Amino acid sequence: EAQVTQNPRYLITVTGKKLTVTCSQNMNHEYMSWYRQDPGLGLRQIYYSMNVEVTDKGDVPEGYKVSRKEKRNFPLILESPSPNQTSLYFCASRVLGTGNLNYGYTFGSGTRLTVV
Amino acid sequence: DQQVKQNSPSLSVQEGRISILNCDYTNSMFDYFLWYKKYPAEGPTFLISISSIKDKNEDGRFTVFLNKSAKHLSLHIVPSQPGDSAVYFCAAQRTSYGKLTFGQGTILTVHP
C-alpha cells in the first residue's frame, strides 16, 4: 500500500530534550515536506526537500532541522524543543514536477507533539 | 501574512442539503487551487482541484468554483452526507508542482 509513515504518533517530552520524528514513504517520491498544524493557522510548511541531499526552509523553520540522506526518509529533528513547538506535525510527499494536479500530496497520519 | 484564508471556522448543515465552504486568497500569483479533507487522527487527503484557466470543476458530489477576479473559491457538496463531516482545507500553489499554502480550515458537521 502506498503510504507515508510517521513515528511516533504521540509524543510528550520536556523542554530542551532533543527528539526526532521519523517519516518514510514507499512511493519513490522525490519531494518531501514537513508541516505543522495549529488552531486558527492551518498547515504551515516547516522544511521541504526536492531530492536526496537537497533541503530548504519553508515558512516556519526556526527550531527545526531536517536531513535527506535517503530518498524514502525525511526525519524532523528538534534539537532543543520548546513549548511553542507543541503542535500536530504532518509529513507529506509527492512526485516532483508532474503537471497533474490530481497527484497532489500524500500525507502521513500525523504526530501529536507536546513539549512541557 | 495569511495568503489563503478560510474565514468560517465551522459550518453545520443538515443531511441532504448543500454545503458551501469558502476560501479567499491574496496572492495573485497563485494559479492552482486544491481542497483537502481531514478526519480526526488522519492526515489530510486530496479531494478536488482547479487551475486558474477554469472557473468550475466537478467530481461527483463535489464542485469547486473559482472567481479569479475576486480571488475567491468555493467548494460545494451536494447532497451533504454525515460522512462528509471533517475539516476542509483550501490550498493554493503558484505552479502545478509548487509549495502548497493552506488556509486555516473549516470544520464541517453534517447532521443526520
Q: What does chain A look like in DSSP terms, one character per residue?
A: ---EEEE-SEEEE-TT--EEEEEEESS--SEEEEEEEETTTEEEEEEEEEETTEEEE-S--TT-EE--SSSSB--EEESS--GGG-EEEEEEEE-SS---GGG--EE---EEEEE-
Which of A33, A92, A97 shows the shortest C-beta gap to B97?
A97
State the count of interchain CB pairs (< 8 A) between A and B. 60
Kindly list the residues from chain A whose CB atom is less than 8 angstroms away from the CB atom of residue B102. Answer: 35, 42-44
Contacts of A67 (CB under 8 A, 6+ apart): A55, A74, A75, A77
Is residue A114 within 8 Å of A94, Cβ to Cβ? no
Smallest CA–CA separation between A33 and chain B, in Å? 9
Question: Is the pLDDT at A104 greater than 80, yes or no?
Answer: no
Kindly list the residues from chain A whose CB atom is less than 8 angstroms away from the CB atom of residue B60. Answer: none
Distance, CA of B76 to CA of B62 (rounded, Å): 6
Higher-scoring residue by pLDDT: B1, B4: B4
- What is the structure's pLDDT at A94? 87
- What is the structure's pLDDT at A97? 62
pLDDT tens string B35-62: 999 999 899 999 999 999 999 999 999 9
Q: Per-residue confidence at B1, pLDDT binned at 50, 70, 90?
A: confident
- What is the structure's pLDDT at A101? 58
- Overall average pLDDT of the B70-86 stretch: 97
Question: Is the pLDDT at B33 greater than 70, yes or no?
Answer: yes
- Indicate the SS3 state at residue B71: coil
Residue pointed to by grid coordinates 454545503: B19
- What is the structure's pLDDT at A102? 56
pLDDT tens string A31-89: 999 999 998 899 999 999 989 999 999 999 999 999 999 999 999 999 999 999 999 99
- What is the structure's pLDDT at B102? 94
Identity (one letter) of the amino acid at A70?
A: E
- What is the structure's pLDDT at A98? 57
- Indicate the SS3 state at residue B101: strand
- What is the structure's pLDDT at A103? 57
Question: Is the pLDDT at A9 greater than 60, yes or no?
Answer: yes
